[in-house]
Amino acid sequence: MLSYFCMNWILLMLFTDPTVSEFLVKGTVGQNVVVPCSYSVESTRDITSMCWGRDRCPSSKCYQTIIWTDGWKVTEQYSSRYKLEGNLQAGDVSLTIVNAEEADSGIYCCRVEISGWFNDQMSNHKVVIENATISTASPHTYTSEQTSDNFYSTPGSTNEPSFTVTSAWLLVSASEAPRTTSGPCSSTSDCSDVTSNLQ
């Protein structure tokens, strides 16, 4: 009778999915993306092996393993684009995806192997890598007016014409701004021509 209950308990544990945390991580194409994962280390006895894999955490190990560590150093690495840059001995086993691509989107499993039956710490991370959105400012024109009456008039003169100077600025985003190395006048003679015409 006791063996019957023990067998049922073992089967229940084998076929019951353990609690697995799930997280969402968003990144941008071309940037490094950090997928966080850590475990508690109070002494060197707590340092343990772990793995990262593609897809959800299975009942043991990692599916499509991309990186393994023995707790002290990386022992297996699928690609140089996958790195563990945190302090492993402090339990920081966050995954860095270098120069992320859209193809890196998907589910990642972080599995920390804790001694004992069914003690592994597991977390699934949904990674979404998107193209950078380019926001271009719509052009806006701002106009300012300065009016001068009788600009060169002499006191008491009323027949001098008035004039209006209108300046306009066009605001564009940095990506739309024209690339030029010359100033407002390409030569000093151009600037003097404009000045003489105004006078």
Q: Using DSSP bridges, classify how beta strands 140-148 and 163-171 pair: parallel, antiparallel or unpaired.
A: antiparallel
* Assigned CATH class of 27-123: mainly beta
Is residue 124 classed exposed, middle or buried when 0-12, 13-18 and 19+ CB atoms within 10 A define those classes? Answer: middle
Q: Which residues contact 73 (CB under 8 A, 6 or more apart)?
A: 88
Domains in the chain: boundaries: 27-123
Is pTM beyond 0.75? Reply is no
Distance CA(39)–CA(114), nearest Å, equals 10
Distance CA(149)–CA(45), nearest Å, equals 88
Distance CA(27)–CA(36), nearest Å, equals 13
* pLDDT by residue, tens only, the chain of 199 residues: 555 444 443 433 434 344 677 899 999 999 999 999 999 999 999 999 999 999 999 999 999 999 999 999 999 999 999 999 999 999 999 999 999 999 999 999 999 999 888 899 999 999 999 998 765 554 443 333 443 444 344 444 444 444 344 434 444 444 444 444 444 454 544 444 444 444 4
**Contact predicate 86/74, CB 8 Å:** no
